[in-house]
């Protein structure tokens, strides 16, 4: 029996950016409950705890925990995703075992240009890209269309149809919008139009396993609509994007293609120093080659999210996932 504190951030009152950005933070509360339920079902002692939004309280909060393992569902502190790694740091500094990735991996993955540069330098295929801090600086030539994203957000914040643009003038206009609206540089990536595959990886007792591949089903998208997972498609259940954006089992990949995707995802996981579990998102180019577009440490493991659904297709229960994640918790020296 392991004593586990399932810690999450309840920042629903504090979101920045668009008011609708707030919806993204609510899911973590029910995720925490389901993790605790699954752990109790396996005989562990689990409690859910909301992290205080005041950053100054974090170190004290962690210092007061009397558990064997912290299950880390913290995605932001005081509404700021940039502070996500601070909670893992606090566990490190207090010598408390915690699940998932170390702060370094979170920091790298939250800084898309850094993650992409490291992956590229390690031979992991990534889309060609440039970074714009102002919007008017000279940039290397890209082939269009491109997608313009905030460089330090995740959960599809700032991603909508208007993010995909077909010429330099539109690219610069969108980059300026992102820079102003999200107060951070924009990353502009060549748009990889092919299939979008989600690769879920988890450290099981048998080593780092890859769960059955999932895919975004873009079949229902009208031709004029860019095939992307927009913010609305990910979070706003009443939107057209949401109705159209389905995650399904990836079908019809031949063995060589599957092996290539899995190898690329595995390398991305190691290059960025993820631990425990993670999700690597790739898109296939016209030749079927996978390009890593996003690496997600500590991805959503709600029972109805893609990770757990992929696990279910592999014959694993939600409780298997959370037990393995607890078993692989990092115990700082
Ligand atoms: N270079 C790209 N080529 C094609 N589609 C992309 C590219 N980058 C992002 N996308 C689309 O935008 C979505 C969100 O981008 P992503 O980089 O994963 O941001 P986030 O970290 O917010 O999830 C992806 O799921 C994908 O549909
Ligand atoms: Mg993503």
Q: Which two tokens stand for residue 256?
A: 């060589």
181: number of CA atoms within 13 Å, CB side?
19
For residues 326 and 237, what is the distance between their CA atoms, to the nearest angstrom? 31
CATH number of the domain at 126-190, please? 3.30.1490.20
Three-state secondary structure string covering 164-181: EECCHHHHHHHHHHHHHH
Q: Whose CA is nearest to atom 17 of ligand 1?
A: 294
Domain boundaries defined on the chain: 3-99, 126-190, 193-327
CATH number of the domain at 3-99, please? 3.40.50.20
How far, in Å, from the CA of 294 to the mean position of ligand 2? 5
Query: With a 6 A CB cut-off, is 306 part of the ligand 1 pocket?
Result: no
Q: What is the pLDDT of residues 81-115, one digit of tens each?
A: 889 999 999 999 999 999 999 999 999 999 999 99
For residues 275 and 202, what is the distance between their CA atoms, to the nearest angstrom? 8
Query: With a 6 A CB cut-off, is 154 part of the ligand 1 pocket?
Result: yes
State which CATH number among 3.50.50.60, 3.30.470.20, 3.30.300.250, 3.60.15.10 fits the domain covering 193-327. 3.30.470.20
Tell me: pLDDT of 4 over 70: yes
Work out the number of other CB atoms within 10 angstroms of the CB of residue 103: 19
Query: With a 6 A CB cut-off, is 156 part of the ligand 1 pocket?
Result: yes
Q: Whose CA is nearest to atom 18 of ligand 1?
A: 294
Tell me: pLDDT of 289 over 80: yes
Closest CA to 27 of 299, 245, 247, 281: 299
User: For residues 23 and 68, which has the higher predicted lDDT (pLDDT)?
Assistant: 68
In this predicted structure, which of 38-52, 227-241, 253-267 has the lowest mean pLDDT?
227-241
In this predicted structure, which of 21-35, 61-75, 254-268, 302-316 has the lowest mean pLDDT?
21-35
The answer to whether the CB of 164 falls within 8 A of the CB of 228 is yes
How far, in Å, from the CA of 294 to the mean position of ligand 1? 7
To test the ligand 1 pocket, which listed residue (124, 128, 149) has its Cβ within 8 A of the most ligand atoms? 149
Phi, psi of 134 (to 5 degrees): -115, -40
The answer to whether the CB of 70 falls within 8 A of the CB of 97 is yes
Query: With a 6 A CB cut-off, is 24 part of the ligand 1 pocket?
Result: no
Bridge partners of 246, per DSSP, are 217
Q: Whose CA is nearest to atom 24 of ligand 1?
A: 229
Query: With a 6 A CB cut-off, is 232 part of the ligand 1 pocket?
Result: no
For residues 69 and 95, what is the distance between their CA atoms, to the nearest angstrom? 10
For residues 46 and 67, what is the distance between their CA atoms, to the nearest angstrom? 9
How far, in Å, from the CA of 283 to the mean position of ligand 2? 11
Q: Are strands 129-132 and 97-98 parallel, antiparallel or unpaired?
A: unpaired
Q: Whose CA is nearest to atom 26 of ligand 1?
A: 228
88 three-state secondary structure: helix
Average pLDDT over all residues of the chain: 93
């Amino acid at each position: 029996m392991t004593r586990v504190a399932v810690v999450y951030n309840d920042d629903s009152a504090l979101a920045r950016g668009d008011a609708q950005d707030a919806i993204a933070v609510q899911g973590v509360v029910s995720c925490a409950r389901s993790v605790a339920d699954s752990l109790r079902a396996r005989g562990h002692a689990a409690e859910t705890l909301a992290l205080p939004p005041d950053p100054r309280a974090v170190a004290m909060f962690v210092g007061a925990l009397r558990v064997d393992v912290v299950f880390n569902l913290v995605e932001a502190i005081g509404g700021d995703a940039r502070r996500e790694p601070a909670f893992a740091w606090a566990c490190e500094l207090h010598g408390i075992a915690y699940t998932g990735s170390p702060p370094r991996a979170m920091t790298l993955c939250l800084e898309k240009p850094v993650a992409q540069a490291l992956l590229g330098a390690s031979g992991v295929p990534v889309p060609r890209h440039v970074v714009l801090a102002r919007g008017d600086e000279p940039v290397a030539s890209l082939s269009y269309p491109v997608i313009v994203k905030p460089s330090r957000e995740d959960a599809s914040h700032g991603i909508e149809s208007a993010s995909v643009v077909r010429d330099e003038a539109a690219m610069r206009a969108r980059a300026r919008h992102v820079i102003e609206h999200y107060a951070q540089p924009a990353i502009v990536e060549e748009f990889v139009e092919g299939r979008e595959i989600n690769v879920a990886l988890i450290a099981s007792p048998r080593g780092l396993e890859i769960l059955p591949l999932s895919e975004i089903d873009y079949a229902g998208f009208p031709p004029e609509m860019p095939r992307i997972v927009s913010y609305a498609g990910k979070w706003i259940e009443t939107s057209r994007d949401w109705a159209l954006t389905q995650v399904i089992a990836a079908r019809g990949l031949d063995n060589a293609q599957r092996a290539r995707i899995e190898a690329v995802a595995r390398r991305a996981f190691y290059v960025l120093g993820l631990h425990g579990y993670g999700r690597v998102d790739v898109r296939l180019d016209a030749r079927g080659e996978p390009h890593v577009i996003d690496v997600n440490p500590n991805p959503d493991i709600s029972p109805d999210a893609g990770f757990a659904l992929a696990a279910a297709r592999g014959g694993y229960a939600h409780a298997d996932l959370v037990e393995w994640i607890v078993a692989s918790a990092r115990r700082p020296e």
